Structure 1
Amino acid sequence: MTQLGRAAVALAVVAALCAPAQAQELKFAGKFKTEQLITGPDCLALLWSQKPGDSYGCTPAQVGAWREALVAWRGKRLQELKYDDRRYADPALAWTKSSFVQPQLMVHDRYFYDPVAGKYTVDRYLDDLVKRYGGIDSVLVWSIYPNIGIDNRNQLAMIEHLPGGREGVRRMVADFQRRGVKVLFPIMPWDTGTNAPAKEMPEAIAELMKDLGADGVNGDTMTGVPEKYSLAAEKIGYPLAFEPEIAPKENHLGWNVMSWGYFEYPYAIVNPAVHVSKFKWLEPRHMVRVNDRWNRNREEMLQFAFFNGTGFESWENVWGIWNGLTERDAEALRRIATIERAMAPHLVSPGWEPMAPTLQYGVLASRWPLGASTLWTIVNRNEYSAGGEQLALAAQAGMRYFDLYHGTELKPRRGAGGALTLSFSMEPKGFGAVLATPAAPDAKLAALLATMKAMTRRPLKDFDSKWETLRQTMRAPVAAAPPGMTTIPAADFEFKVHGIEVEGVNMAGVDVQYPWEDAPHRFHYKRMALAPYHIDTTPVTNAQYKRFVDASGYRPRDGQNYLRHWSGGSYAPGSGEQPVTWVSADDARAYARWSGKRLPTSWEWQHAAQGTDGRIYPWGNVWDAGAVPAPDTSRNPAGPAPVGAHPTGASPYGVLDMVGNVWQRTDEFEDAHTRSAILRGGSNYKPQGSHWYFPQALRLDTHGKFLLMSPGMDRNAATGFRCVRDAVQGAKR
């Protein structure tokens, strides 16, 4: 806060402390018990205990007492914190004050990377967002969770192993910045079980971000990124914007210049109050982006954001589960973000006045003074439209008034005593914005008015508010021939399996959509008549894969991380019987074609492992630790065990190493935004310290969903494969 701002706050505090005894005690709310919100005045609620004849809504005195308490609390709290605002004054971080819209971008999103062309498609990704909701100001590039933990690569390696390595990531970051979009990457404090970084994380992440040219860092699961991260960045002359996922502790506000807002929303037809963002109130330059990843209706989030002059986390691809904005929400975001970007200097005003006076119940406003002009951001909390007179203002000579939302100039009605009233319409659960200014519209304001006038010709109610899943298609395995391994007989097979994703519960869109299902979901069941087939008795080994490489001369087009565990074109001595890893699905399919086989479907894999009695492990229903390799919980695991080393783990048909050694590839799925692979059997690698790592699927009625991006990124140290071939020509799978 500037000296002028501090002085203004101090005067307001003195006035508040001298206010009448009616001043209120503030109440706080927010998800995760973080108290991110200062609740609005209780007098707005429609209390069932009211008696006939009682009036509804707040009196000016009640709102005034609430606002006085708000101002007094801020002044007192900043003084207690000995608040230092120097990072908000840093020109290198000035962009954060207008970074209103930010998606969390899964790097596996098909709009972002083309694995066939082998290149990032940043323009395609951004063009889609511009078309659907007006574009973004910053982006959080997410490459770590939920795939981290499938092998021992740590969070830094998961960034460095993106397509093209560091140089490719630098170009990708530059592509975003060329379009005016700032770039953030995440840090995971819970990543303590994978390979230890070479340096302490604050220094390591600062140096990596500087090398990549990134602009900021998101602290996953953090209630405030510790100041040591900010200091490490400043030490190397590269200030970064830090953004904790969860609202920062108040004493962290000075260096966490952005944060996410997990807000609670009152039941609007009972209490239309819009709560005040606590951290935006403490520091008006702090950028909060309202976020609720699983909410399919963003109406409340957008209203709270606009009232508070804050941003919006436009997160749609949630761990490969598509939760897209509805057409109506996308259009509402386009409109409010257009106004916020144009009016950004007003929205950091230290004179912000929440719950500014309005004339109609359920129509709530924030007032943002800046010099001689004033902005109002307004929301209609009612489920019905609000037309006519909305604001009553004292007359000011030469002042002009503009309805920014509809892009028109307002002609005030002058009442008794010189008071002015402004009239305009607001849709149900709609938005409004008014600018009072003594100046004629300059080019920037004229452009905004023209843009908004054209944009709002079609009312929001005409945009579809129905939420739908994205349909998935299952990629058919490549059919092929030659000789077979263990024969799996024809069977009437009960295919029953569920995904083990950490998040998403049982929402539509979670996990995958098999061909007989109408939408992706977590739990799957189908009774199948399976024809006989042959399956590799063990996963493909290093020695077998080398024979293929030597005979075929195969070299992948994208060679990043290919056979990373080999050296000089061969595997390490003594590891020939270990399952081959660090191969992509394309590499596995190339081997399968060469050997006249194909990759198995998930139900073929499960039938070969389970038989027909529904057992949950290949050997029965009770876990047997001796039937699988010992778990490796170190940060530098030794790798999988040789195949066949645990014969007591054989399936009813004698197939070996089905669980607990290496993950094995089966089906692949894709929708318009995400590709994924179904991995079966789990592995012997089990990183410790967090439940966020890629979870194990050792039970035969579970599978892992591994998000796919590029061959280089998809290759890892814990995933191998085995092949099948049809035992009957033209057999139905």
Structure 2
Amino acid sequence: MTKAKEPKYYDTPLPHTIPAHLPLPGKSPDWPFLTIGKWKIDVNNYAASWREQLSIWRTEHKIRMGYSDAQYRRPDMQWAQKNFVHTQMMVEDRYFYDPVARTYTVDRYLDDLERRYGGIDSVLIWYIYPNIGIDNRNQTQLAHDMPGGLEGLKTAVQDFQRRGVKVFLPTMPWDNGTHDQQQADWDAVTGLALAAGADGVNGDTYNGVPRAFRDAADAAGLPLVLQPEGSLTADELLQWNNQTWGKASTEIIPAVSKVKWLESRHMVNIENRWCRDRTDDFHYMFFNGIGYTSWENVWGIWNGFTARDGEALRRLATILRTFHRQAVSPDWQPYAMALQQNVFASMFPADGTTLWTVVNRNEYEVGGEQLAVDHAPGRRYYDLWHGVPLEPLVEEGEDGATAIFDFTIEKRGFGAVLGIDEGAHCEGLDQVLATMRGFAAQPLQSYSAAWTPLPQQLVEIAPTRPAAEAPEGMVAIPGGVFNFEVTGIEVEGYTWAGMDFQYPWESTARRAHRRRMTIAPFHIDRYPVTNAEFKRFLDASGYWPADDHNFLRDWEQGAPRAGWENKPVTWVSLEDARAYAAWAGKRLPHEWEWQYAAQGQDGRLYPWGNEWQIDAAPAINKGRELPPPSDVDAHPAGASPFGVMDMVGNVWQWTDEYVDEHTRAACLRGGSSYEPQTSHWYFPQARRLDQHGKYLLMAPCKDRSALLGFRCVVDAA
């Protein structure tokens, strides 16, 4: 079955120039990109007529959609209009939760962001993708599996809110292949938001969150801000989606955001998760007076800000947060009169104070006269970017006076001018000037723009007491030279440095791995550990995990269900598996040991050969519910060259763990029988022996799965 791919969403820009003939009333207003020698376009010559015509278009467009701005006038949603820095946070980020202390560490998470780029205004707590689909828990159930359940999640939400950070929860329309929640998404997500005390809903792959979410939230008395991923292609959606997140234009001339032009109070948070130089995005953000999605932990892959990008965001956000009323002004004028080639400006007037944002798209510093603006007598000016007063050259003309400003902008840098009318009060002026003056003491150019991946470490597995002969129930695997070749099957991440795992012999994490290595002899369990064997362990050791949510979830009254004794034990965390192995005098296998035992030395794709064999593993399940796993000895045709059984297609199996500063992840082998449909975003299968899964780890309660078990090894004498 071919899986449909969800589209990528962009913040739809408006054209840079006016076409030779404008659309007639009633014709499509969605003009295409214009590519008339981009570097030659005389923006200043066209800007006035462009704004005039686009203002007419905006008026007509709002009439056609029967536009109401009621959601933007709501006092309980005003915070969205100054939500300039938003992030999507993986719950598996080690700065957010400490599984040893079993506590959320929100302050540690926020302190780090404030130190590196000035902090955030809102956060999406992302607890679903990329692990969803390893079993049939749906997006709602995964929220309940957070440490402490919904009460624990509520505590984390309150910790963010205590620091002034608003909280979004996710919703995904493509999750229709897991357990049927028997409830409409809008009702389920509203219920979660109500229980957790969240402030908004983030619509993953939604090109506009449907009105049903607005109605459900209002019926519950919950003022949720809706934040879809996209450009609101159906413009009516603008009326109840107060925010969006999407990608920016990267043209030399910064484009104008369509939704921002239609409704200046709408907040766009630009997202570009795989970008390593964020300057284009920041230029687009500052020119449009909109926000940014400061996403660094991308599905467990660390794409951290460079020092320069972090410092740039700190300064941009400082200005926009201070002058948020100007940034959402309906009198915004993009393409203000900038005097240097490839330098562009926008004017944001409100309350007697005008902010001009300036971006230098050149790869070189630009000095001299930069802006020419209408001058009002008694108006005071400031070079806001440098935090100092600014004396313009004032020229009188037939149409009034013009103020011309002379200052320098770094290459690919930023500028900001502030004008305060006579008699107007600008709250916080002295503080923001002092702050920006302090920043300016060190130019952005002096900060490093070098990007480096985070180093990973393999978590050590202690050797066992060597055994000369294979213990009962185990198979002796002779040593030998082995060509270990494997690739990660993550849905995103391309082949960049920092992807997947970093083996001890590699300089950085990467998706594809190959090494000819000498494998020492060892013994491995012929079958995965069964429910009956795990029950003997519990009875003998008295083991019970401190974090016991979902522990042996499919057992009844402390024992396996009748007839399940010979099925692989599941709903056990990595910590549970290690505890069993230690009790048994064994250990978990390294991934290359597991693969060697399954593959032998001929590079076969499956334990039994190079073609899938239907009698060698359980039938693939594409339904929404899970039957019990097969007995471990139910498919003798699936034996490996060494006689090891049930290695592929029944349940995933724990092997190694890797850690970096922000993420823990386990290497899973063997795949399972489950293959949920409706989206390619589900945790992908890796039944082939040259593939593995990367499973993000947060806490045992959330890590345990209905289709994840283990087998053990013993070192050979």
Q: Which TM class, normalised by the smaller chain length?
A: over 0.9
Range that drifts further, 334-343 or 72-81: 72-81
Query: Which sections of structure 1, spanning at least 5 residues, go unmatched?
Result: 1-19, 27-34, 48-55, 267-271, 729-733
Q: What is the aligned partner in structure 2 of residue 726 from structure 1?
A: 715
Matched-pair contact (CA < 8 Å) for 2:228–2:245: yes
Which is further off, 559-568 or 688-697?
A: 559-568
**How many angstroms does 1:57 deviate by?**
3.3
Structure 1 contact 659–682 (Cα < 8 Å) conserved:
yes
What's the C-alpha RMSD, in Å, of the aligned pairs? Answer: 1.8
Deviation at 1:373, TM superposition (A): 2.0
Q: State the Cα distance separating 1:479 from its structure 2 match.
A: 2.1
- How has the CA–CA distance of structure 1 residues 245 and 313 changed in structure 2, closer, same or farther, with 3 Å as cutoff? same
Residue in structure 2 matched with residue 180 of structure 1 by the alignment: 164
**Separation (CA, whole Å) in 1 of partners of 2:358 and 2:117:** 20
Contact (CA 8 Å) 1:24, 1:66: kept in 2 or not? no
Q: Distance in 2 between matches of 1:706 and 1:305?
A: 34
For 1:607-646, what aligned pairs fall within 5 Å after superposition? 607-646=596-635
* Structure 1 residues 635-673: Cα deviation after superposition (integer angstroms, max 9, x where no partner): 221121111100000101111100000000111101111
> Comparing 579-588 with 62-71, which one deviates more in the overlay?
62-71
The alpha-carbon distance between structure 1 residues 503 and 59, as it changes in their structure 2 partners (threshold 3 A), is closer
In the TM superposition, residue 323 of structure 1 has moved relative to its aligned partner by 0.8
Distance of aligned partners of 1:37 and 1:713 in 2 relative to their CA distance in 1, 3 Å threshold:
farther
Q: Which residue of 2 aligns with 1:214?
A: 198
Alignment of 1:39-438 (within 5 A): 45-47=38-40, 57-60=42-45, 62-249=46-233, 250-266=235-251, 272-417=252-397, 418-437=401-420, 438=422
Partner of 1:476: 460
* Deviation of the 1:488 alpha carbon: 0.6
What is the TM-score of this pair, normalised by structure 2? 0.93
| Alpha-carbon contact 1:36-1:277 (below 8 Å) kept | no
Report the equivalent of 2:489: 500
Give the C-alpha shift of residue 395 in structure 1: 3.1
SS of the equivalent of 2:178 reads: coil
Listed as ranges, the matches of 1:690-709 within 5 Å are 690-709=679-698
Is the Cα contact below 8 Å between 1:37 and 1:278 reproduced in 2? no
Distance of aligned partners of 1:239 and 1:21 in 2 relative to their CA distance in 1, 3 Å threshold? closer
User: Counterpart in 2 of 1:269?
Assistant: none
Shift of 1:248: 1.7
Aligned to 2:9: none
SS at structure 2 position matched to 1:575: coil
The 8 Å contact of residues 36 and 262 in structure 1, kept in 2 or not, is answered as: no
In 2, the alpha carbon distance for the partners of 1:727 and 1:123 equals: 47
Deviation at 1:415, TM superposition (A): 3.0
CA deviations on 1:503-550 (whole Å, 9 max, x unpaired) are 112111111111111111110000111111000011101110010011
**d(CA) in 2 for partners of 1:152 and 1:43?**
52
Question: In the TM superposition, what is the alpha-carbon distance from 1:263 to its structure 2 partner?
Answer: 2.3
CA contact (8 A) 2:352 2:424 kept: no
Q: CA deviation at 1:318?
A: 0.7
Aligned to 1:419, the other structure's residue is in SS state strand
1:601 aligned residue (584, 590, 604): 590
Matched, 1:511 2:500: yes
Q: Among residues 667, 683, 687, which one is paired with 1:678 in the alignment? A: 667
AA partner of residue 263 (structure 1): A
- 1:166 counterpart SS class: helix
SS in 2 for 1:529: strand
Decide whether the 8 Å contact of 1:163 with 1:712 is kept in 2.
yes
Change (3 A) 1:402 1:43: farther
Q: Which residue of 1 aligns with 2:574?
A: 585
Q: Which residue of 2 aligns with 1:6?
A: none
CA distance in 2, matches of 1:622, 1:583: 31
Q: Distance in 1 between matches of 2:143 and 2:411?
A: 44
Structure 1: how far apart are the matches of 2:495 and 2:374? 54
- Partner of 1:644: helix, strand, or coil? coil
2:12 alignment partner in structure 1: none
Q: Is the 8 A contact 2:499 2:510 kept in 1?
A: yes
Q: Alpha carbons of 1:299 and 1:688: their partners in 2 closer, same or farther (altered >3 Å)?
A: same
1:71 partner letter: S
User: 1: CA distance between counterparts of 2:521 and 2:378?
Assistant: 87
Q: What's 1:687 paired with?
A: 676
Code of the aligned partner of 2:643: G
Which structure 2 residue ranges, 5 or more long, are not aligned?
1-17
Match of 1:444 in 2: 428
Question: Do 1:183 and 1:216's aligned partners in 2 also have CA atoms closer than 8 Å?
Answer: yes
Looking at structure 1, the residues matched to 85 and 649 of structure 2 have their Cα atoms a distance apart, in angstroms, of 43
Q: CA deviation at 1:439?
A: 4.3
Report if the CA contact (8 A) 1:512-1:669 is conserved.
yes
State the distance in 2 between where 1:444 and 1:287 align.
23
Contact 2:44 2:336 in 1 (8 A): no
Instruction: Determine the structure 2 residue equivalent to 1:552.
Output: 541
Q: C-alpha displacement at 1:456, in angstroms?
A: 1.6
| 8 A contact 1:195–1:636 mirrored in 2 | yes
Q: In the alignment, which residue of structure 2 is the partner of 1:668? A: 657
Match of 2:231, SS state, is coil
Q: State the shift of 1:443 in Å.
A: 5.5
Q: Which amino acid aligns with 1:409?
A: P
Amino acid at match of 2:155: R
Aligned counterparts of 2:516 and 2:38: Cα–Cα separation in 1: 54
Separation (CA, whole Å) in 1 of partners of 2:37 and 2:507? 44
Contact 1:316 1:324 in 2 (8 A): yes
- Over 3 Å counting, the alpha-carbon distance change for 1:36 and 1:324 in structure 2 is farther
- TM-score, normalised to structure 1, is 0.91
Contact 1:57 1:361 in 2 (8 A): no
* Percent of residue pairs bearing the same amino acid type: 52
Task: Report the CA distance between 1:491 and its aligned residue.
Answer: 1.1
**What letter is aligned with 1:562?**
F
CA distance, structure 1, for counterparts of residue 487 and residue 20 of structure 2:
58
Cα distance in structure 2, aligned partners of 1:605 and 1:380: 55
- What aligned pairs does 1:520-559 form with structure 2 within 5 A after superposition? 520-559=509-548
